[in-house]
């Protein structure tokens, strides 16, 4: 069955129940139509009782095929404008489009919002930076900014290059074509090694490396969990134990620059900084794995980009172009939204946002604005070459005091990956289909298969 796309939404018939449950339709389990009705009624009543109006849009739950279409919110924006309401992921959600508007919302409502993310406080005090506010956030963010500065990426560059080269060899050694699951596993393995090195001072040849990797894979086999369960407590305790083994070893050594060493030397290793360190390694390896998977897919249909990199003998120019490739991939995919929860009622640009509802700054859609990015769905890294000013249009790393601390690493590590891949491999996409709505983000279709050949 061919599902209608948003491009021809107006002409699309409403699907019948039997059609929706066909093999190709996504499962209906994610839908909560009754909850949506109740949530909508509550939000409307609250707005009326305050003499206010909710933003335009509908709180009725959309058909699953619309929710699974990456263009869904773009189509709503065209109808309703830059602030709209929708029922998303079981919540009343206010969507805000555009960098300037998103930034203003975050700045004006700093004290009324909090990061809508997994609660890690059952595992360690204050939880992760993303969920912190006020003084604890200022204190630990400052500490980690210093820790990132101290972790000189250049000093680890040769080791990172080796890890990436080993990973590229593994991709070429898999029975071809490699499936998406095999590619993700291979990338994640390499990114675990990179994150363990930079954050936890753990190298691949350290005696506890395999133990740590095994615990991480049990703690979060498919990215960060939504709620900490008893098993997470147990694995987290094991991870802390292995980290403390490593910490006591490096007290007497002077290893390469890394975060654990920095925190030890600064005497700032406490439950909260350890928790953030361990969780950052998990989120970092998973998110970057997602980005690198997109890069493989994008570069698989843009062989000219690989040629350009491999033929350019000017190292500085080549590195700048590889960084532009990563920035363009981030514009097109992986960075999708910033989520906040309203801690109290909010009025923004005249619209009422009820307490307890979600605010979504729509980054993916903002990155597709044709006024800011010509031919916005085209993969074109040259947009990011030269002295481009994109601060009012481009925000893959966030917009406020919670901006990603790993931003610089993501671009630099991605550039190493792109450069090494262009020098060592060529690949062809053997099968593919439309992206799917994964646990956290849109992801390439599970049918993606790529044939890798050594150059």
- Interacting residues with ligand HEM (CB under 6 A): 115, 129-130, 141, 280, 284, 287-288, 291, 334-335, 338, 396-398, 402-406, 409-410
Give min distance, CB of 15 to ligand HEM, in A: 33
Measured from the CB atom, the residue of 180 and 339 that comes closer to ligand HEM is 339
Q: Is the separation of the CB atoms in 389 and 96 below 8 Å?
A: no
**Cβ nearer to ligand HEM, comparing 332 with 422:** 332
β-strand pairing of 358-362 with 337-342: antiparallel
Q: How far is the CB of 363 from ligand HEM (least distance, A)?
A: 7
Distances (CA, A) of 344 to 113, 114, 118, 315, 349: 8, 10, 20, 52, 16
Q: 400-433 burial, b if ≥16 CB within 10 A, otherwise e? A: bebeebbeebbbbbbbbbbbbbbebbbbebeebe
Q: How far apart are alpha carbons 283 and 293 in whole angstroms?
A: 15
Are residues 5 and 69 in contact, defined by beta-carbon separation less than 8 angstroms?
Answer: yes
- Asked whether the beta carbons of 36 and 59 are under 8 A apart, the reply is yes
**Residue placing its CB nearer to ligand HEM in the complex, 47 or 183:** 183
Question: Minimum CB separation from ligand HEM for residue 343, in Å?
Answer: 15
Strands 91-97 and 83-88, by their bridges, are antiparallel
The rounded distance, in Å, linking the Cα atoms of 409 and 424 is 22
CB 138, min distance to ligand HEM, A: 9
C-beta closer to ligand HEM: residue 332 or 449 = 332
Q: Which of 405, 334, 336, 348 is nearest to 143 (CA)?
A: 405
Sign of CA dihedral 307, 310, 313, 315: positive
Q: How far is the CB of 147 from ligand HEM (least distance, A)?
A: 10
To ligand HEM, the closest distance from the beta carbon of 410 in angstroms equals 5
Nearer to ligand HEM, 63 or 443 (CB): 443
Q: Which is nearer to ligand HEM, 84 or 143 (CB)?
A: 143
Residue among 60 and 266 whose Cβ is closer to ligand HEM: 266
Listing DSSP states for 253-317 in one string gives: S--SS-HHHHHHHTT---HHHHHHHHHHHHHHHHHHHHHHHHHHHHHHT-HHHHHHHHH---HHH
Q: 287 vs 380, which CB is nearer to ligand HEM?
A: 287
Provide the minimum distance between the beta carbon of 283 and ligand HEM in the complex, in angstroms, as a whole number: 6
* Cβ contacts of 19 within 8 Å, gap of 6 or more: 1, 25
Nearer to ligand HEM, 36 or 418 (CB): 418
Is 55 within 8 Å of 80 (Cβ atoms)?
yes
Provide, rounded to whole angstroms, the least separation between the CB of residue 139 and ligand HEM: 11
Q: How many CB atoms lie within 10 A of CB 175?
A: 7
CB of 191 to ligand HEM, least distance (A): 8
Question: What residue number has its CB nearest to ligand HEM?
Answer: 406
- Which of 65, 127 has the CB closer to ligand HEM? 127
Cα distance between residue 171 and residue 165, in whole Å: 10
For the chain, what's the residue count?
455
Q: Tokens in use for 244?
A: 């403390």
Computed over its alpha carbons, how large is the radius of gyration of the chain? 23
CB of 218 vs ligand HEM, minimal distance in Å: 21
CB atoms near residue 150 (< 10 Å): 15
Nearer to ligand HEM, 3 or 413 (CB): 413
Minimum Å distance from CB 19 to ligand HEM?
A: 36
């Amino acid at each position: 069955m061919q599902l209608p796309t948003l491009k021809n939404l107006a002409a699309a018939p409403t699907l019948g129940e039997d059609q929706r449950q066909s093999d190709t339709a996504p499962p209906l389990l994610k839908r909560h139509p009754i909850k949506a009705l109740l949530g909508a009624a509550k939000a409307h009543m609250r707005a009326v009782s305050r003499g206010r109006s909710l933003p335009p849009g509908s709180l009725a739950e959309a058909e699953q095929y619309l929710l699974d279409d990456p263009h869904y919110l773009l189509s709503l924006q065209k109808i309703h404008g830059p602030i709209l309401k929708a029922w998303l992921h079981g919540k009343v959600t206010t969507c805000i489009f555009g960098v300037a508007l998103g930034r203003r919302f975050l700045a004006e409502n700093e004290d009324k919002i909090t990061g809508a993310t997994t609660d890690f406080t059952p595992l360690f005090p204050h939880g992760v930076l993303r969920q912190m506010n006020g003084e604890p956030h200022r204190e630990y963010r400052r500490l980690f900014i210093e820790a990132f500065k101290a972790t000189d990426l250049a000093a680890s560059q040769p080791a990172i290059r080796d890890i990436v080269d080993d990973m590229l060899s593994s991709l070429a050694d898999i029975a071809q074509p490699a499936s998406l699951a095999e590619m993700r596993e291979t990338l994640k393995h390499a990114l675990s090694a990179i994150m363990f090195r930079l954050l936890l001072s753990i190298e691949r040849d350290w005696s506890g490396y395999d133990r740590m990797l095994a615990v991480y894979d049990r703690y979060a086999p498919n990215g960060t969990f939504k709620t900490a369960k008893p098993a997470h407590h147990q694995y987290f305790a094991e991870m802390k134990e292995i980290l403390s083994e490593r910490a006591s070893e490096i007290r007497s050594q002077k290893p390469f620059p890394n975060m654990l060493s920095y925190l030890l030397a600064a005497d700032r290793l406490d439950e909260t900084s350890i928790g953030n360190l361990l969780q950052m390694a998990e989120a970092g390896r998973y998110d970057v794995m997602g980005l690198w998977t997109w890069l493989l897919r994008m570069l698989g249909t843009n062989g000219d980009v690989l040629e350009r990199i491999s033929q350019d003998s000017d190292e500085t120019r080549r590195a700048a172009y590889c960084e532009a490739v990563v920035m363009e991939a981030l514009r097109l995919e992986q960075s999708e939204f910033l989520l906040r929860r309203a801690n109290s009622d909010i009025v923004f640009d005249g619209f009422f946002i009820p307490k307890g509802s979600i605010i979504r700054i729509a980054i993916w859609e903002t990155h597709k604005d044709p006024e800011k990015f010509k031919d916005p769905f085209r993969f074109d890294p040259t947009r990011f070459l030269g002295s481009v000013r994109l601060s009012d249009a481009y925000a893959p790393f966030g917009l406020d005091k919670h901006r990603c601390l790993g931003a610089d690493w993501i671009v630099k590590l991605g550039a190493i990956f792109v450069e090494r891949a262009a020098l060592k491999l060529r690949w062809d996409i053997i099968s593919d289909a439309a992206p799917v709505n994964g646990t956290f983000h849109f992801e390439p279709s599970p049918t993606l298969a790529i044939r890798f050949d050594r150059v």
